[in-house]
Structure 1
Amino acid sequence: MQAPTLLITAITAAEKACAEILAVYHSNDFQAEAKGDNSPLTLADRKAHQAITAILQASSAYPILSEEGKTIPYVERKDWGYFWMVDPLDGTKEFIKRNDEFTVNIALIHQGRPVLGVVAVPVTGDVFYATEGEGAFLKRGPFPAPLPRKPPTDLTQPGLRVVASRSHMNPETEAFIGRLTAPELVSAGSSLKFMLLAEGKADVYPRYAPTMEWDTAAADAIVREVGLTVRSQAQGDRDETATGVLMYNKESLLNPSFLVS
């Protein structure tokens, strides 16, 4: 793996996707439709997918697993060494609501773990990125700056800032928050929830609602590099409970519940 070259490729692909997304966002023609699972799909999703796959395919030989790509059977992908995992538009519901809280997520996966991640924010132009062992960075404006490593979180301390999804508050999340002392709730859409922790704007993120691997992979790579852990809360999942952290390219691409801290 040539990490610097691959990182540049992923950032280029993410920024191109951001441009395609913004062109649709500022138009009046989202061409929204419902997918088979009733989740929304827009013209921006499709254009971002096309832009990303064109750049990744032209610059590397690694296969691509994208939310908006064709379904790839586990028997085919289980032996992949490295591959790209892509969510061309994470937060389509936020996109349709026009609340600006959506991202482009590109990760490189190796043997079940994300070793490179890019999270780009179309509306602000922010680009978060990381490669394994090299730290995490935020490009806000022309120059990137390193994201400092975070100290361990003491869940018993009062006033913890807890990321709670506006769309996915459920009894399990409420129960977790109820065990904390005087917590402060902060909200964001898409993988921006992870980036709140990466920037030091939040302390803990409990997720007890469904997510897919492409929702978390890129952000997972970034928060790992600032000293955080995306820890599985599954009780019966052999893959995750063996290591404690989320694993990628499972037969089922559905994530277990998890805790980021």
Structure 2
Amino acid sequence: MTNLQDQDLQELVTIARSIGWGTASILLEMQHTELGVEDAGDGPVTKADKAANRYILDNLQAALGTAEFGYLSEENYKTQNHERSSQPWVWVIDPLDGTKDFIQGTGEFSVHIALLHVDRPVVSVVVCPAAATLYFATLHGGTFAEKQDGSIKPVKVSQRQRLEDLTIVASRSHRNERLKQLLQRFPCQKQRSVGSVGGKIAAILEQTAEVYISLSGQSAPKDWDLAAPELILTEAGGQFTYFDGTLLQYNQADVSKWGGLLASNGSCHQALCTAAVEILAEIDAQ
């Protein structure tokens, strides 16, 4: 497989949507069972993470095989480095983004399924099970929101432009001291806390927020946290870059995305990135 046509991408996103809904059902059912929480170093892992991961991988591989596609998942990346690095088409999977919120029962967790071509996403599915909503996108094909009754509508980010009118979504649990100081000094002071990255980007799609900021500390978001959310945002009119404006590259040897990342509705993206760089320079100079 060298080039996928638009029709091929639509077929692949249809497969991923079906698997996404199936995964959402598994997670909602398992919320009410013994979770078997384990410490995996970067955060907790539950039986639900593992069951959802198996379901996604088994169904993608049953539908598509492994000859032309590599697979990168939060649960298997340490054993799949060689296989995926040699594949131009790689599925990137987070079976349960927001495990802490899943355990706590906030409902702010999501499922991420993305297809990369070399190092950039071309197909994306993000499911927010508690909201009964699935977002999907294909490169140059726009972003859509699907409900469980099968209804589908296109979605676009807000057009808000005044910095003081923009709302930031940030993490509750991944706030290092530099990020706290950055948020305190940032020109947008309206803030919301949302659990998963998929949920944060969904808030921007639903026009209840415009900006998401991530700043790595001892840990950093990984490919599976970001690849699917990035494409549904950019295809809805938003932007997602490092603070210096460069695009994220996926399926690299290091799956961590170190540094500062900024997602927005796009209207003031460059100004927001510039502000982040300048504020961080002031913080680090103290």
Quick check: TM above 0.5?
Answer: yes
1:130 alignment partner in structure 2 = 137
2:261 alignment partner in structure 1 = 258
* Residues 31, 102 of structure 2: 8 Å contact kept: yes
**CA drift at 1:245:** 1.1
Deviations 1:18-53 (A, max 9, x none): 1111121022x1111112x15211111111011111
2:155 alignment partner in structure 1 = 147
1:32 alignment partner in structure 2 = 37
2:128 alignment partner in structure 1 = 121
- Separation (CA, whole Å) in 2 of partners of 1:98 and 1:24: 11
**CA drift at 1:17:** 1.1
Following superposition of structure 1 onto structure 2, how do residues 139-218 of structure 1 map, counting pairs within 5 Å? 139-142=146-149, 143-151=151-159, 154=161, 157-181=163-187, 183-190=189-196, 191-209=198-216, 210-218=220-228
Give the TM-score, by structure 2 length: 0.81
Q: 2:23 aligns with which of 17, 21, 39?
A: 17
Structure 1: stretches of 5+ with no match in the other structure: 235-240
Return the letter of the residue paired with 1:214.
Answer: W
Q: Secondary structure at the match of 1:51?
A: helix
- Separation (CA, whole Å) in 2 of partners of 1:79 and 1:186: 40
* Residues 149, 225 of structure 1: 8 Å contact kept: no
Return the letter of the residue paired with 1:187.
Answer: S
- Separation (CA, whole Å) in 2 of partners of 1:13 and 1:211: 24
- Separation (CA, whole Å) in 2 of partners of 1:134 and 1:120: 18
**CA drift at 1:76:** 3.6
Q: Secondary structure at the match of 1:220?
A: helix
**CA drift at 1:202:** 0.7
RMSD: 1.9
**CA drift at 1:174:** 3.0
Return the letter of the residue paired with 1:11.
Answer: R
Q: Secondary structure at the match of 1:123?
A: helix
1:237 alignment partner in structure 2 = none
Return the letter of the residue paired with 2:56.
Answer: I
Deviations 1:189-217 (A, max 9, x none): 11201111122111111111321110111
2:63 alignment partner in structure 1 = 59
Per the alignment, do residues 39 and 178 of structure 1 end up closer, same or farther by CA in structure 2, a change over 3 Å counting? closer
Return the letter of the residue paired with 1:204.
Answer: V
Structure 2: stretches of 5+ with no match in the other structure: 265-286
Q: 1:249 aligns with which of 244, 248, 251?
A: 251
Return the letter of the residue paired with 1:20.
Answer: I
**CA drift at 1:75:** 4.2
Which stretch shifts more, 185-194 or 169-178?
169-178
* Residues 168, 188 of structure 2: 8 Å contact kept: no
Q: Secondary structure at the match of 1:158?
A: helix
Per the alignment, do residues 26 and 74 of structure 1 end up closer, same or farther by CA in structure 2, a change over 3 Å counting? closer
Q: Secondary structure at the match of 2:19?
A: helix
1:7 alignment partner in structure 2 = 13
Q: Secondary structure at the match of 2:129?
A: coil
